[in-house]
Amino acid sequence: MFNLSQKGKTRSILLNEASPLRRLDPRSKLFVSIALSLAVMLPLDKLIIFIGVYIIFIAWARLLLEMARQTWRLRWILLFLFVIDWWLVSFELAAVITLRLILLSGVFALFFSTTSTNELSMALESLRIPYRFAFSINLAFQSIGLLQEEWQAIREAQQSRGILVKFDGIRQLIKQVNDLIALTVPAIVLATRRAWAITEAAYSRGFDSPQRVSYYQLQMNWIDWLFIGLILAIMLTFIFWR
């Protein structure tokens, strides 16, 4: 699982064990994801071809479904930005911005559908990011599902007291400020308590130890270097091709 989904209630990105990228070193995937993200700088004509190539690559990696899901989750933001940019500037700019966001969401799906939070943490550590930061990033990703569940529990509990926040326009929302506070204050309190409980739990198991040894070890293989080389070649072709 990508995040700590309690009793399977929350929506989360599942690790795709069938993808060939799952077996790669997380560092190579991190590098490739960053490289692929640079494609957002391409002009519209090149960007369209690049996204075409990217979709073929994603289909080969058996991640098409994950990419589609990720894009679907962003559908309202994409639509909003497209309409605003078209209205205020031009159709071309609206198309470029929307395609860039689709590409970035695809890269996000590629990385997180094939990399666990532990692997991400180890990759960051091996890239000389201090352990406490790598561990915090790991925990933050794990906590997404729990925060969603806590929010749901608060909403239900307050709803049972007659506190029902409906998002029917800004004016309506302003009238419901008190009710919004009824949701946000407990959410902040619970998140703070969880953070504090985790801090206590971590320190009571030697989190600040200077002699820490990582049990798992990462190993770059020839296939990782081949993968990096291939993606780099494609990227350079697109950047310098006229």
Partner 1 sequence: MPVVLEAQEISFIYPQNNRGLAPVSLSLAENEGVFISGNSGSGKSTFTRCLSGLIPHLYRGEFSGKVLIHGDSTQDLPMWELADRVGLVFQNPAHQMLAPTVEAEILFGLENLGISRADMKQRLEEIFGFFKLEPFRNRSPHTLSGGEQQKLALASILARQPEIFIFDEPLSMLDTTSALEFVAHVENLINKGKSAVICEHRDKFLENSTHFRKFLLPGIHQPPAEQQDITHPDYPESLDQFQLQVRNLSVEKSGNKIIREMSFSLDSGQIVAIVGRNGAGKTTLLRSLVGLQKHNGDICINNGTINQKPHFRMVFQNPDIQLFNPSVKDEILFKVSRPNMQRYEWLLEMLDLRRYEDTPPLLLSEGEKRRLALALTLMQNGKHGVLLDEPALGQDQHHKDILIQLLKKLSQAGFLVIFTTHDLELAAHADHLILISPQGIVADGPTHEVLHADSAWQQIGLVRPDWMTFDV
Residue 152, amino acid: Q
90 binds partner 1 (CB under 8 A): no
Between the CA of residue 158 and those of 10, 110, 122, 154, 181, what are the distances in Å? 20, 38, 40, 6, 11
Cβ nearer to partner 1, comparing 114 with 117? 117
Residue in the structure block whose two tokens are 């729990």: 146
204 binds partner 1 (CB under 8 A): yes
CB 2 within 8 A of CB 110: no
Taking Cα atoms as reference points, which of 153, 160, 156, 154 lies closest to residue 181? 154
- Window contacting partner 1 (CB under 8 A); options: 40-48, 89-97, 181-189, 234-242: 181-189
Residue in the structure block whose two tokens are 């058996």: 62
Query: Would residue 62 be called left, alpha or beta, if left means φ above 0 and alpha means ψ between -120 and 50 degrees?
Result: left
118, 172, 221, 237: residue in contact with partner 1 (rule CB under 8 A): 118
CB 33 within 8 A of CB 111: yes
Q: How far is the CB of 78 from partner 1 (least distance, A)?
A: 29
176 binds partner 1 (CB under 8 A): no
Q: How far is the CB of 26 from partner 1 (least distance, A)?
A: 14
Residue in the structure block whose two tokens are 């619970």: 190
Taking Cα atoms as reference points, which of 69, 74, 57 lies closest to residue 19? 57
193 binds partner 1 (CB under 8 A): yes
- Window contacting partner 1 (CB under 8 A); options: 43-51, 61-69, 82-90, 159-167: 159-167
Rounded Cα distance, 158 and 181, in Å: 11
11 binds partner 1 (CB under 8 A): no
162, 171, 219, 240: residue in contact with partner 1 (rule CB under 8 A): 162
116, 126, 136, 148: residue in contact with partner 1 (rule CB under 8 A): 116
Sites of contact with partner 1 (CB under 8 A): 1, 4-9, 116-118, 138-139, 142, 146, 150, 153-154, 156-158, 160-163, 181-182, 185-186, 189-190, 193-194, 197-215
